[in-house]
Structure 1
Amino acid sequence: MEKYSRWRDAGTGIQPFLPPVPPRTESSLLSTLSDAVHYIVGPIQGLIKLTLVLVLSLLYFLVNKVIGIIMVCVGPLARIWSRLWSTIFLRLILIASGFFFIKTETISLRRGSSRRSNNSGGGQQSTSKASSSSVQSGDIIVTNWTSYIDVIYLAYAYDPVFTQVYPQGKVRRIGFWKALRSCTKIPPPPLEEQEQEEQEGLYTLRELQQQAKENGWGPIVVFPEGTTSNGRALLKFAPVFNCYQPSERNGRFHVLAFRYEYRNLPPTYTVGNQFWHFCKLCTQFYNTLSVKRLANDDVPCNPAMTSSQEAADLASLAGKNATDDLVGGQLTVCLGNMSRLRKTNLSMMDKRDFLEYYHLRDKKSARKQEQQTIRNKKKK
């Protein structure tokens, strides 16, 4: 759309904030019949799926949150209780949403390496060195962000602490439900534009990591892009990793990449009505999600990264684009190479401007439509 051309990345030509266009497919009798069945049966199955999701969500809230408050008094059992029911209910919610199989694989970026494994169950890999090491409390999960489905999967797989990233590199701890809704929210403004009260509860990533480790909160999920894109490219990372040095080996990062395959409606979500998007997602017969995880010995700052030459190469690549956050630059290189997503020069602040412009156009359009309706009534 030309009216949004100012948010097209100059280097790649990609518009990462607009919903992606479904791929073109050759029309045939079979595909025509499939589309006809989808239009007829889709709304019915969508209503059934949506009902199941609502029931499962209510049960999840009651069992995991309400009863979980009582379990907090028991100490360590609270984490086990939350982890157990998150795994059960959130996987059922994903199945009810059409994500019957979730392909996961562990990837190594080293040349000549054959350490690559596949799994369709949606859990963590256990057939390679990288995946056999458990994700512990205080570990940091770094991933691209394309949809609220990403949040559900991460809560199912890890029961982590979610964070909201700020442009200056600070993070705020948020809950699962707020993380789901963050997809629809305008990214936060720079800290200097916020009130003093709004700046309370912000941490550097290292501070939050230390607290999570000491209190057993679970791993920390960081979406360094700070907002969702349409899954076609990576946005510029906020400088959340500038409190780490490339020479460190105790960062314990885990790098994941989400990718969706689709024929009609893309599960990626960047703008629009989130509930209506989910309703349409449920009308599809099935949805496909693949999750790639980078082998631990390829991840910067990890104890498993033993090759100093590889670390130096990463630092060199990162230094071309990151002067104040070298570790963030290294993670960008790793995530981009693993996911095969191109890096753009657009950031969460560009998404903020885009959403403000998008909502302003919506208001103007609604006002014009209302005025036209009034004129038509007067003519009658």
Structure 2
Amino acid sequence: MEKYSQFRDRGSGVAPFFPVPRESSGVYLPFHIFLFIIRLPLLVGFAFTYFVIFSWLPVPAYIKKPALWVILGIPGIWWIDLQIDGVKRGSLAKHQDRLPQPSSIIASSFTSPIDCLYLAAIFDPIFTASYPNTRLVQQISLAQAIWRALTSPQSLPPRGARLVPLWKLMKENPDSLIVVLPECTTSNGRGILGLSPSILTTPPNAKIFPVNLRYSPADVTTPVPGTYISFLWDLCAKPTHCIRVRIAEAVQLSGVRSQQSLNDFPARVRDDDKYTDKEIGASFGSAETLTNDDLPRELNIEERKVLDRIADDLARLGRAKRVGLGVQEKVDFIKVWTKTRRIW
């Protein structure tokens, strides 16, 4: 394992890109094979119907959500253990303000395709893709978010992608909650990767809720891309799966100010009727065509504190460690891993 030592965090020794070892089926192997054979056609058929047909229909969220719960239920995801910082069990009804609401942001951990499926079934949010060196995000569909959890990480946005700051996306969708995946790529859940600065384009008074999802068994995480068959086996062959969902206290950017930050613009013109795309262009260039080189790479002290706070919350909620690794290290890891390992 010496050749993989560079992909372990030097401080904690955590290796966030290694797949979680699969639990042996032992004498239950015939039963697991039976479950896999029964569940796989149901899961694939129902998911295909939903994403290819049903998701495009103009139906309200209260109809789409049950369909997503069926997709979650087919492989045996029955138990959801939800805890919220500062809320005692059984008293959630009295603390609805501690739950993510429309016009707020979820900064979610990213370990499995199930992450986004669960968040869609609960919140019906807008999903975004973040990248390491830009503060802008790309709006993506639920299917694209799931696909990103199974494929190689992207350090740069696709050519022609529409990139916007979060505050503009929130202005365009005032009644929606927005999910940000600030780690930019999946890990095995044992470490929180370096966060993208995209979260810093949230409006100053909007609430950011760090949310961590953990799984038991943990082998449904997909840190290595291309493991479609093994993921489906781990998902469908086990009798049940548990999702442990932890939501931290909301974070706000009210005190963050930077002369070069995109946050300055919405802070100056909080009345939505007073800003236009022309003014955006005059201040920062076109928000939809900015490239990595057009955006500041340096973070000021307050911005760094915000990212550290969110990363610390994600690590605490997931009982994980923060690691000094990110997208580029994962790209390098995959190159080494695929030379000697078979991905299937």
Superposition pairs for residues 307-326 of structure 1, below 5 Å? Answer: 325-326=304-305
Q: Which residue is equivalent to 2:106?
A: 141
Q: Is the 8 A contact 1:129 1:295 kept in 2?
A: no
CA contact (8 A) 1:130 1:295 kept: no
Most deviating of 9-18 and 87-96: 87-96
Q: TM-score, normalised by structure 2?
A: 0.77
Aligned to 1:357, which of 323, 326, 336? 336
Question: Of residues 158, 161, 181 in structure 2, which corresponds to 1:223?
Answer: 181
Structure with more helix by fraction: 1
* TM-score, normalised by the number of residues in structure 1: 0.70
Alignment of 1:65 with 2:55, yes or no, is yes
Q: How far 1:63 moved relative to its partner?
A: 5.7
Are the counterparts in 2 of residues 117 and 127 from structure 1 also a CA contact under 8 Å? no
Render the CA deviation track for 1:112-167: whole Å, top value 9, x for unaligned: xxx33269xxxxx5342444x5611x421111111111111011111211111111
Distance 1:251 1:348 in 2: 27
Q: Distance between the aligned counterparts of 1:211 and 1:2, measured in 2?
A: 49
Which shows bigger deviation, 147-156 or 270-279?
Answer: 270-279
Distance 1:275 1:282 in 2: 10
**1:41 aligns to 2:31 (yes or no):** yes
Residue 245 of structure 2 is aligned to residue 291 of structure 1: yes
SS at match of 2:139: strand
Indicate which of 310, 314, 330 corresponds to 1:335.
314
Retained in 2: the 8 A contact 1:105–1:118?
Answer: no
CA spacing shift, 1:283–1:118, aligned 2, 3 Å:
farther
SS at structure 2 position matched to 1:126 = helix
Residue 229 (structure 1) shift: 0.6
**d(CA) in 2 for partners of 1:301, 1:323:** 9
Give the % identical residues. 26
Instruction: Specify which of 166, 169, 181 is matched with residue 147 of structure 2.
Output: 181
Matched, 1:18 2:8: no
Shift in alpha-carbon separation, 1:275–1:181, aligned structure 2, 3 A = farther
Superposition pairs of residues 273-292 of structure 1, within 5 angstroms: 273-292=227-246
Alignment of 1:82-161 (within 5 A): 83-108=61-86, 115-117=87-89, 125-131=92-98, 135-136=101-102, 138-161=103-126
For the aligned residue pairs, the C-alpha RMSD in angstroms reads 3.0
Ranges of 4+ aligned residues in structure 1 off by more than 4 Å: 320-324, 360-363
Gaps of 5+ in 1: 24-31, 72-77, 109-114, 120-124, 303-319, 367-380
Q: 1:280 to 1:334 in 2, by over 3 A?
A: closer
Q: Distance in 2 between matches of 1:266 and 1:46?
A: 15
- For residues 146 and 54 of structure 1, what CA distance do their matches in structure 2 show? 21
Deviation at 1:291, TM superposition (A): 0.5
| Counterpart in the other structure of 2:215 | 260
Task: Check if 1:269 corresponds to 2:211.
Answer: no
Instruction: Say which one has the larger Rg.
Output: 1
Unaligned runs of 5+ in 2: 255-298
C-alpha separation between the residues in 2 aligned to 1:274 and 1:12?
30
The aligned residue for residue 196 of structure 2 is 238
Alignment of 1:300 with 2:252, yes or no, is: yes
In the aligned structure 1, how far is the partner of 2:69 from the partner of 2:208?
24
Aligned length in residues: 299
